[in-house]
Amino acid sequence: MTATAEPQQTDGSLAVVQKNKPHAASTGQVNQAFELSDVEGAKNGSTLRPNGLQPDEGGGGGGGHGIDSDHPTNYLETIMHIFKGNVGPGLYAMGQAFYNGGILVSPVLTVLLGITCIHSQHLLLIASKKIKSKLPASDKYPDFAETVELCFEHGPVRFQRWSRAMRLAVNIFICVTQLGFCTVYFGFISNNLKQIYDFYGIHLDIRLHMLIILVPILLPSLIRNFKYLAWCMTLANACMILGICITAYYAVQDLPPISERNYFSSWHQLPLYFGTAIFAFEGIALVLPLQNAMKHPEDFGRPLGVLNVGMAVVTFIFTGLGFVGYLKWGDDVKSSLTLNIPHDEILAQSVKVMVSFGILLGYALQFFIAIQIMLPSVVKKVGFGRNHPVLVDLTFRTFMVLVTFAIAESILNVGALISLIGALCSTSLALVFPPVLELILGLAEGECPAETPGVTKSTSAISVFVWVKNICILLLALFIFVTGTVESLDAIRHLQ
């Protein structure tokens, strides 16, 4: 097979991509770059290269079965990565999620959903481990997109032709999710800043606030080399942690009795709860990169390992802040709890500014993930892309920022938008692909040669419990996908 090359990059943002490399431009590698080049990495020199590639490779392709880090992370550092990878606007929206679920029903559902998401992440780990055993010797696990493709490729014969399509589907869901995050960020920041401006007598339309922050969001999004975004992660993390603490302080003041809140909202609102909650929990793309980055990867998936402990902490924070947020503000709870804290106190205003600044910096990091997946194809298809890769890169980045800006300008209901993204994309990544992979591999293990050459016959290698369990997860995903999408679109239409 003849190898064709993409433009050779000069600064670490475009890579030579060979067509005879079967696993180019994968999603998980990009998430490795985003999630793991953080405060500790910037301090100790372990800032990770885009896509986990070798020094002579860039951020748009390559084989990359893991992270090339000179300083593997330990147990506690990896737990912090899990925490930081799951905390964002979704956390601040949990108060409204509890409003849509009810004060007693929502905590139970949040814990159950957290357990389900953790189980799905374990299924992905198991699938990646099984696939790794079928590949040439490597100390790294294949990432999310690679795992999905290879599971279908090594699965039953009737599913093998879907392998590349499934890989593409994972990348599409990741890109849509990341760009959806970026769209939510415009609304999140603008709503917080509008409250401050309004308090000081500067009354502007929310769309003007989005226009004001467009340039500050665009500039860091044009940075083409991930290592220069490390400072964004450092500042964003500090702002978010302080914001969570101060918001929680306001939320627990003078709480009313539980009897004043709805124990269960309504069946009509419940899909909105699920959409927001699954949006908040959608961190499954981090699992394999985090495991690959550990000094002792075996500590990641064990019973008291990083995944279980880290996600238990995340679930506790989501449940706790959502509970006190709804209990404190009731039917008036906003799409972000920062919008409920006082307008006239300096401490409260500082929270809005800190969180908005942290989210603004986080935009570039989330945006980087989607761009690194899409950019190689864009450069290849644009006629002059090979001769002017930098121009194509910057133009495409600017265009995609404007796309997220335009969507945010047209959908002002941030809470419904969060629920829509969660229902459409996060559900597929967190609740559909992992159980499907378990079933695909189980069916493959049950296949055995038939008497006719080139034909196989199947015997079930999957227990009844596994079938029932995975079907229940898939039915839950279908419920969230259909009802969450319908109700979110309805809320967007009525509240515009």
Structure token digits, residue 342: 């006082």
Gap between the Cα atoms of 16 and 56, Å rounded = 9
Mean pLDDT along residues 431-457: 73
- With 50 as the cut, is the pLDDT of residue 41 above it? no
Task: Report pLDDT for 122.
Answer: 94
> Looking at per-residue confidence, does 60 or 209 come out higher?
209
What pLDDT is stored for residue 470 in this prediction? Answer: 94
Do 21 and 62 contact (CB within 8 A), yes or no? yes
Neighbours of 54 (CB within 10 A): 11
Region 143-161: mean pLDDT is 90
CA angle in degrees (0–180, nearest 5) for 72-137-168: 80
* Residue 315 pLDDT greater than 90, yes or no: yes
Copy the structure tokens of residue 179: 């760009």
Predicted TM-score (pTM) of the model is 0.77
* Arithmetic mean of pLDDT over the chain: 80
Q: Is the pLDDT of residue 483 over 70?
A: yes
pLDDT score for 2: 42
Q: 210, 409 in Cβ contact below 8 A?
A: yes
Would you say residue 388 lies in a domain? yes
Tell me what pLDDT residue 31 has.
40
* Two structure tokens written together for 199: 């308090």
Render pLDDT for 246-275 as a digit per residue (tens, 0 to 9): 999 999 999 999 999 999 999 989 999 999
Binned at pLDDT 50, 70 and 90, residue 142 comes out as confident
Q: Quick check: 50 pLDDT over 60? A: no
257 belongs to a structural domain: yes
Which of 40-44, 137-141, 236-240 is modeled with the greatest confidence? 236-240
Q: Does residue 42 form part of some domain?
A: no
The pLDDT of residue 332 is 93
Average the pLDDT over each of 158-172, 255-269, 356-370 and give the range with the smallest value. 356-370
Of 285 and 192, the structure prediction assigns the larger pLDDT to 192
Handedness of CA 92, 96, 99, 102 (dihedral sign): negative
Q: Regarding predicted confidence, which is higher, 22 or 131?
A: 131
Q: Mean pLDDT throughout 214-232?
A: 82
Confidence of residue 496 (pLDDT cuts 50, 70, 90): low
Identify the pLDDT of residue 48.
Answer: 35
Q: How confident is the model at residue 388 (pLDDT cuts 50, 70, 90)?
A: confident
Domain harbouring 247, CATH code? 1.20.1730
Specify if 483 maps to a domain.
yes
Nearest to 34 by CA among 49, 24, 44: 49
Say how far apart CA 496 and CA 492 lie, in whole Å.
Answer: 6
Structure tokens that stand for 101 in this block: 């679920």
The residue segments making up the domain with residue 339 are 75-495
Reduced to 3 states (helix: H, G, I; strand: E, B; else coil), residue 269 is: coil
Q: In the predicted model, what is the mean pLDDT of residues 24-48? A: 37
- Residue 201 located in a structural domain: yes
The verdict on residue 421 lying in a domain is: yes
| Mean local confidence (pLDDT), 11-31 | 38
Looking at per-residue confidence, does 449 or 64 come out higher? 449
Can you point out the beta strands (E) in 285-343?
A: none
Of 463 and 24, more confident: 463
Query: Which residue from 8, 3, 2, 13 is spatially nearest to 396, judged by alpha carbons?
Result: 13
> How many domains, in total, are found in the chain?
1
Q: Tell me, what's the pLDDT at 228?
A: 72
Q: Of 196 and 87, which is predicted with more confidence?
A: 196
Q: Which residues contact 238 (CB under 8 A, 6 or more apart)?
A: 39, 358
Cα separation, 180 vs 177, whole angstroms? 5
- Residue 52 maps to a domain: no
